[in-house]
Amino acid sequence: MRRTATGLFILLAMALGPGALAQQVHQVNVSGEDYQPKELKAFPGDTLRFCNEGIYRRQPYSLERFNRYSQRKADTHEMIKKGECRNMRLQNPTKDWLTVHVRDAVNPNGGIKIEISPKP
């Protein structure tokens, strides 16, 4: 009986995909003018972890409907100091893939594009 339950759990995990059972943390390194990676795919409930590895303060923000980050006015977004990290939890309550753009208030060329899968 125990082997059957374990086997069913493994089959369920395989069928639902890699992000269905365990939430992931995706680290985004900010250094100079770059966000690395520039694009990624994620699952609802995953976390983006922004880490400032540069010498300047950074101001990542997103005004997307389901994934707001740093909801202050555009000129006063939360600063991330050198060596600090901040988290953003990803959401997608829709039945379609959702594209989210996180931009940087300090460097208009900086940012990341995230594609979030539909809710399982």
Residue 90 · residue 117 · CB < 8 Å: no
What is the fold of 24-116?
A: Immunoglobulin-like (2.60.40)
Give the pLDDT score at 49.
94
Residue 100 has pLDDT above 70, yes or no: yes
Residue 68 · residue 14 · CB < 8 Å: no
SS3 for 2-33 is HHHHHHHHHHHHHHHCCCCCCCCEEEEEEECC
Interstrand relation of 111-116 and 39-42 (parallel, antiparallel or unpaired): parallel
Confidence of residue 99 (pLDDT cuts 50, 70, 90): very high
Give the pLDDT score at 80.
87
Ranges of each domain in the chain: 24-116
Q: Percentage of the chain with pLDDT > 70?
A: 76
Kindly report the backbone phi and psi dihedral angles of residue 32, in degrees, each rounded to the nearest multiple of 5, phi listed first: 60, -125
Residue 85 · residue 49 · CB < 8 Å: yes
Give the pLDDT score at 77.
61
Confidence of residue 92 (pLDDT cuts 50, 70, 90): very high
Residue 63, SS3? strand
Give the pLDDT score at 3.
47
Contacts of 106 (CB under 8 A, 6+ apart): 56, 57, 58, 59
Residue 33 has pLDDT above 80, yes or no: no
Distance, CA of 5 to CA of 78 (rounded, Å) = 47
Of 12-16, 63-67, 100-104, where does the model show the most confidence?
100-104
pTM above threshold 0.75: no
